[in-house]
């Protein structure tokens, strides 16, 4: 089967942040399943002049490549719902892997999921909400590890690091790391915002394998439920990446984590600073137990938690979907209307300036523009719903570079 993957090559579309998780894990897994895999860049804002050019380029690529399946990781309004309708009307099946649905379902997934054939979510709460909303095309799945990136564990005595964390320094992670160091734990961090900086995706499994313990935080940063702030906690891909690379996972608790690993024998969990410190000290002092845990989690991951195992049933369902037909040339009449609806004029340029200027006085040029975009987006999905993700949606029309 010919699969066209639509997501970024780099983290958040920025080459300076290193090769992206989806690119480095999803493509090898799909190829391991025997598919002819191609990639379309949808996150790098330097690749196109605006979202109209991006969406036009995607339709051109589909017409030229004639794939059997579009495998998307949609982040927001970068791929218009009109674009998804156009490719599906031409007979192409669309599968989306939903990220961060524990908090994104309300503001994004519930509006866009009706426009694809299958929406895979890693959040059981989002699945329940989708059923309440009448969305029958949402399927439960979970993060995993690529079979191409597995490696047998090293004994603790041969590991280079005591305790490492690989990931961006956002939210309360810096505070966690500072407190752990103050309490005597030797923690080394890699990723955006840490002194070591981002690391190449190929090096990440090596870091996990050469660490006696690897940290994972389940917090996805500060989110909002109405006017109330809250912290979303979820199972991260790192939960499966670490054991697959032969590492030992010390992870913040998350709902239904024990569906995937046995806590205490395959992984270790914590819900407070004291629990984290005690768990790390105990495992570092007991290399025999640490090594046994590494092997137990490694074997469990290979048996149950590879992307090849996650993707196979989803791809099969998409290909066997009723009504699927041979791909035709995409009809662009409605899409051309969308292009015209995306254009901006003097009035919208003035609106953008009115939003951006006060934000820039507080946070500076770059952060101020991003804050203005975030404010408009938060208002848009609440007031306009699904229209936010159409070509006419204001966040995409006014804030291409900042999206």
Confidence of residue 218 (pLDDT cuts 50, 70, 90): confident
pLDDT 10s digits, 325-377:
678 999 999 999 999 999 999 999 999 999 999 999 999 999 999 999 999 99
* Average pLDDT over all residues of the chain: 93
Q: Is 317 exposed, middle or buried (0-12, 13-18, 19+ CB in 10 A)?
A: middle
95 beta partners: 71, 118
pLDDT 10s digits, 126-141:
999 999 999 999 999 9
Architecture of domain 2-144+307-339: 3-Layer(aba) Sandwich (3.40)
DSSP 320: T
Residue 72 pLDDT exceeds 90: yes
Residue 286 pLDDT exceeds 90: yes
Confidence of residue 234 (pLDDT cuts 50, 70, 90): confident
Domain coordinates in residue numbering, the chain: 2-144+307-339, 149-304, 344-398
% of residues, the chain, pLDDT over 70: 95
Measure Cα distances from 323 to 8, 93, 112, 320 in Å: 30, 10, 20, 9
Calculate the CA 329 to chain-centre distance: 31
Residue 196, C-beta contacts closer than 8 angstroms, at least 6 positions apart:
188, 189, 190
User: Comparing 162-171, 313-322, 338-347, which segment has the lowest mean pLDDT?
Assistant: 313-322
Residue 23, C-beta contacts closer than 8 angstroms, at least 6 positions apart:
7, 8, 9, 10, 39, 201
Greater model confidence, 18 or 84: 84
The stretch 52-63 carries a mean pLDDT of 98
Q: Residue 56's pLDDT is what?
A: 98
Residue 314 pLDDT exceeds 60: yes
Q: Residue 278's pLDDT is what?
A: 95
What is the total residue count of the chain?
403
Q: In 3D, which of 127, 143, 125 has the Cα closest to residue 311? A: 143
Residue 34 pLDDT exceeds 90: yes
Common-topology check for domains 2-144+307-339 and 149-304: yes
The domain made up of 149-304 has a fold known as Rossmann fold (3.40.50)
Give the C-alpha separation, 192 to 380, whole Å.
29
Residue 77 pLDDT exceeds 70: yes
Residue 226 pLDDT exceeds 60: no
Q: In 3D, which of 26, 47, 50, 46 has the Cα closest to residue 38? A: 26
Within 227-329, strands assigned E span: 228-233, 249-252, 268-270
Q: In 3D, which of 147, 118, 157, 151 has the Cα closest to residue 135? A: 118
Confidence of residue 379 (pLDDT cuts 50, 70, 90): very high
pTM over 0.85: yes
The stretch 209-220 carries a mean pLDDT of 89
The stretch 163-170 carries a mean pLDDT of 92
% of residues, the chain, pLDDT over 90: 86
């Amino acid at each position: 089967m010919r699969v066209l993957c639509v997501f970024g090559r780099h983290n958040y579309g920025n080459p300076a942040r290193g090769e992206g998780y989806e690119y480095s894990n999803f493509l090898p897994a799909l190829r391991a399943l025997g598919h002819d895999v191609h990639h379309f860049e949808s996150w790098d804002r330097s690749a196109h002049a605006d979202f109209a050019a991006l969406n036009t380029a995607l339709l051109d690529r589909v017409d030229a490549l004639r794939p059997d399946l579009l495998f998307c990781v949609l982040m927001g309004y970068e791929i218009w719902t009109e674009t998804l309708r156009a490719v599906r009307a031409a007979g192409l099946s669309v599968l989306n892997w939903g990220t961060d649905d524990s908090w994104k379902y309300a503001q994004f997934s519930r509006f866009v999921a009706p426009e694809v054939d299958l929406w895979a979510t890693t959040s059981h709460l989002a699945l329940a909400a989708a059923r309440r909303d009448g969305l029958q095309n949402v399927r439960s799945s979970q993060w995993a590890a690529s079979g191409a990136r597995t490696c047998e564990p090293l004994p603790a005595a041969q590991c280079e690091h005591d305790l490492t964390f690989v990931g961006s320094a956002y939210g309360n992670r810096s505070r966690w790391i500072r407190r752990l160091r103050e309490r005597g734990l030797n923690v080394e961090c890699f990723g955006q915002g840490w002194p070591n900086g981002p690391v190449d995706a190929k090096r990440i499994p090596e870091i996990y394998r050469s660490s006696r313990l690897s940290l994972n935080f389940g917090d996805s940063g500060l989110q909002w439920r109405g006017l109330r702030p809250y912290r979303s906690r979820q199972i991260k891909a790192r939960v499966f990446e670490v054991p697959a690379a032969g590492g030992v996972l010390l992870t913040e608790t998350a709902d239904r984590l024990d569906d995937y690993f046995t806590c205490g024998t395959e992984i270790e969990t914590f819900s407070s600073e004291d629990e984290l410190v005690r768990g790390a000290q105990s495992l570092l002092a007991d290399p025999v137990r640490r090594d046994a845990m590494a092997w137990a989690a490694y074997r469990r991951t290979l048996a149950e938690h590879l992307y090849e195992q996650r993707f196979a049933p989803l791809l099969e369902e998409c290909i066997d979907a009723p009504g699927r037909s041979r791909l035709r040339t995409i009809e662009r009449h409605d899409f051309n209307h969308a292009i015209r609806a995306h254009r901006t004029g003097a009035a919208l340029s003035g609106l953008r300036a009115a939003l951006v200027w006060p934000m820039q006085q507080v946070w500076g040029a770059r952060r101020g523009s991003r804050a203005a975009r975030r404010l408009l987006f938060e208002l848009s999905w609440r007031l306009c719903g699904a229209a936010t993700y159409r070509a006419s949606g204001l966040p995409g029309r006014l804030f291409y570079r900042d999206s």
